[in-house]
Structure 1
Amino acid sequence: MTDFEPAPLPEQKVRARPGFGRILLASLGIILVVALGGAGAWVLTHQQRVSDQFVVWQYEPTATIAAYAERSTMTGEGRFLFYASRPSIESTESFDTHCASDIEDVGILGCYVHGDRKIFLFNVTDDRLDGLEEVVAAHEMLHAAWDRMSDTDHAAISPLLEAEASARAGDPAFVKTMEYYAKAEPGERLNELHSIVGTEFADISPELESHYATFFGERQALVQLHLTSDAVFTERQVAISNIVDQTTTLKSSIDADYISYNSGYDSLNADITSFNLQADEGGYFTQREFDDRREELVIRQADLDTLYTSIAERVTQYDGLVAQLDDLNAEVTELNQSINIRPRTEGDS
């Protein structure tokens, strides 16, 4: 077998097509410039978004902060705005330096500081208020969202918010809340409505529901957290109101019957004295007359004793209700302190 070795091929010269490389590079250059030019325009018109992005990249949420975002069902956009506001959980002393209020009987649990675009959250540690912190975090995040909305967006959504407010004009709690904001934050009605409606109202217009879907994946779950935590207070308020009504009614009946009892016994004692004198002097001509008069006095005494027993029973009931009221008031005091409402001291006006 003969080994076969192929003959070498002649050397080939590669000939570039005139101008092809230059045209391609030039085209790429144009595309690059156009792309950068578009990004530059976007950056110029979305400077806050770019600034927020840098903040989010640098912000490291704690496990608790991340859990707030998760449990409140924040979407990617909601979480972005939340983290862009660098939320921090503060103790009473440090929190009050950022979010203090001089209005009596108001608990401040969170605030969005517009100048710094930062969220501060009060550290609620009472297990009975489970879910409250998540609602507050969501409320403040919506302030961040409102802060970044355009005037056109505000104008479009404002009538929808006012419609929801009008529908709840008969709700005393809502009316009181809005009265507080009118006093504490004049000019921020729509801003506050935007946060309240989104986190507390279950039934809202489809247009608003669509708007809030940008920020929450399951808004109804968030509203349920609000309802559950709010019920801790409303249930005790209802219980206290019922007890106060019962004690007021009891006290009124006790006082009235005690007056009747005392005057009745005064009259009875006077009649007994008169009966005894008449009996001693032989004033009754027959045994039947004596017995009838005596029986009348005995019946009156028995009736008064029955009335006294009733009074005593109601006093015991009253004292028991007062003890329940004291316990409830103690609970409310604890709950108030846990939501940053401190008891008034001597000298407070």
Structure 2
Amino acid sequence: MTPDDLPRSPTGRVPRWVVDETANRRVPPHAWAPAPSTPPPGARPRRPLGQRILTVVSLALLGWVVVTGPLPALLRSADLPWLDGVVAGRVPAPAPDVVALADDMHLTAHGRDLLYRAQPELLDATAFAGRCDRPDTTAAEGGAVGCYVGPRGADLRHADGEIVVYRPADARLHGFVVTTAAHELLHAAWDDLAVAERTEVTPLLEAVVAGLDPDDPLHEQLTGSVGPYPESRPTELFAYVGTQVWRPGGLGPRVEELYARYVADREALVAVHTGFRGMLDAVSAEVTAAQGALDARGLTQVLDQKRYDADVAALASYRAALEQQETQIAAMAPRERDRLLLSWTWRDGTVLPSSPAEQTLARARELLARDEAELAARAETLAATAAEIAAEEARVAALRADADALWAQLDPAG
């Protein structure tokens, strides 16, 4: 509950910084990561109450009208909602990639305002290193791919907070960047909500998360992001649910009403998240399927080779037996050889009935030639199959390397 004796804005709202400072509480910045190893948020300083009130009063007495420079940001830090529309010239025009990112996040005009005021930086792994592990955040504990640091009082460059996002080089991970940036933007949106609105929506978000499948990775992500800072759970709920959870018809009128201030099409935003996760799953499934088929084909090749080797050895023994018979019969006297009858059962079960020896041996020679030709054809087939398997092994290895590289890019420290 908000004490009745706290200073209030002209609209009757109690600014968040007043509640925070009255409770003598440090409000942490927020870092997002797609894995349960997401670090807990760190602390965020605020200006003393007297300085904030003095700033607003002094400006009123002087009658300044501000449309450029840092002073509007100072006014906003006083948590006065009637100043929300004073944004012209407050920050440099956003870079084209940030504008495109806002498009892909499906932001409203107000959501874009929050994003642009935070002057988001989209950084590669080298430039991102260390950006989310400053002394005022605990993102250095590992896993962060983006962070939001709320307004930092005297630092006029960041009087509206700042957003830093890791952007992998692989274009297939653009959805990952969109989800990360949207997550951090919703932390800024949480700061933008009135205290009463945060109090109202928190149990509604808890109910949404409680209704998820226990195996949904969001549970571990949420736990990892909150870490030992339970006071961060509401803003993490708002960011995770807003970017990753959708049900037909939405999550309830009040929840969707608050999100709709910042995101014009939240179903489409969540689809970005499910889309890039689906892409990663498809890449992994392709590698798994290709490896499984390769393993099956390799096993067949091994068995075929073993049968071939056994047949070669068996035919060699029959060839040796045939040659031995031919040698023995050739050594006989012609009269004795003419009277000799010979029968034989060939290796495939073919019965050569009792016939003159030379006739039986001639028939055996035909069977030997037949089997040698068949084995030669099998040898060619085995060689061709071996070459195909080698090529497939190279293709599967390339698929695996690509998948590994894709997954590795999810971690800027990897």
The bucket for the TM-score relative to the shorter chain is: 0.5 to 0.7
Match of 1:154 among 198, 202, 222: 202
Match of 2:101 among 65, 68, 84: 68
Aligned match of 1:90: 123
Which SS does the other structure have where 2:164 is aligned?
A: strand
How far does residue 249 in structure 1 lie from its aligned partner after superposition?
A: 0.7
Which runs of 5 or more residues in structure 2 are unaligned?
1-6, 19-75, 133-138, 153-160, 330-339, 343-355
Which runs of 5 or more residues in structure 1 are unaligned?
1-36, 344-349
Aligned match of 1:247: 294
**Partner Cα separation in structure 1 for residue 77 and residue 233 of structure 2:** 28
Matches within 5 A, 1:8-157: 39-40=9-10, 42=12, 44-47=14-17, 50-51=77-78, 58-60=90-92, 62-63=94-95, 64-83=97-116, 85-99=118-132, 108-113=144-149, 118-146=162-190, 150-157=198-205
Which SS does the other structure have where 2:364 is aligned?
A: helix
How far does residue 200 in structure 1 lie from its aligned partner after superposition?
A: 3.9
**Partner Cα separation in structure 2 for residue 157 and residue 83 of structure 1:** 26
Match of 1:262 among 309, 319, 337: 309
1:308 matches 2:379: yes
Seen in structure 2, the aligned counterparts of structure 1 residues 342 and 255 have a Cα distance that, compared at 3 Å, is farther
Aligned match of 1:5: none
Paired residues of 1:178 and 1:189 also in contact (CA < 8 A) = no
Cα RMSD after superposing both structures: 3.8
Aligned match of 1:203: 247
CA deviation digits over 1:122-169, x for unaligned, max 9? 134444444543332112212334466634421122112332x22x84
- TM-score under structure 2 normalisation? 0.58
Aligned match of 2:67: none
Aligned match of 2:358: 287
Paired residues of 1:89 and 1:121 also in contact (CA < 8 A) = yes
How far does residue 327 in structure 1 lie from its aligned partner after superposition?
A: 3.3
How far does residue 341 in structure 1 lie from its aligned partner after superposition?
A: 4.8
**Partner Cα separation in structure 2 for residue 181 and residue 47 of structure 1:** 24
**Partner Cα separation in structure 2 for residue 101 and residue 275 of structure 1:** 80
Between stretches 64-73 and 334-343, larger displacement belongs to: 334-343
Match of 1:328 among 375, 381, 399: 399
**Partner Cα separation in structure 1 for residue 117 and residue 79 of structure 2:** 5
Seen in structure 2, the aligned counterparts of structure 1 residues 44 and 232 have a Cα distance that, compared at 3 Å, is closer
CA deviation digits over 1:264-290, x for unaligned, max 9? 212221221122112211284433422
Structure with the higher helix share, 1 or 2: 1
**Partner Cα separation in structure 2 for residue 254 and residue 290 of structure 1:** 35
Between stretches 56-65 and 152-161, larger displacement belongs to: 56-65
- TM-score under structure 1 normalisation? 0.68
Matched residues, number: 297
How far does residue 201 in structure 1 lie from its aligned partner after superposition?
A: 4.4
Seen in structure 2, the aligned counterparts of structure 1 residues 114 and 39 have a Cα distance that, compared at 3 Å, is closer
**Partner Cα separation in structure 1 for residue 78 and residue 8 of structure 2:** 18
**Partner Cα separation in structure 2 for residue 179 and residue 307 of structure 1:** 55
Which SS does the other structure have where 1:203 is aligned?
A: coil
Which SS does the other structure have where 1:42 is aligned?
A: coil
Aligned match of 1:212: 259
Between stretches 45-54 and 212-221, larger displacement belongs to: 45-54
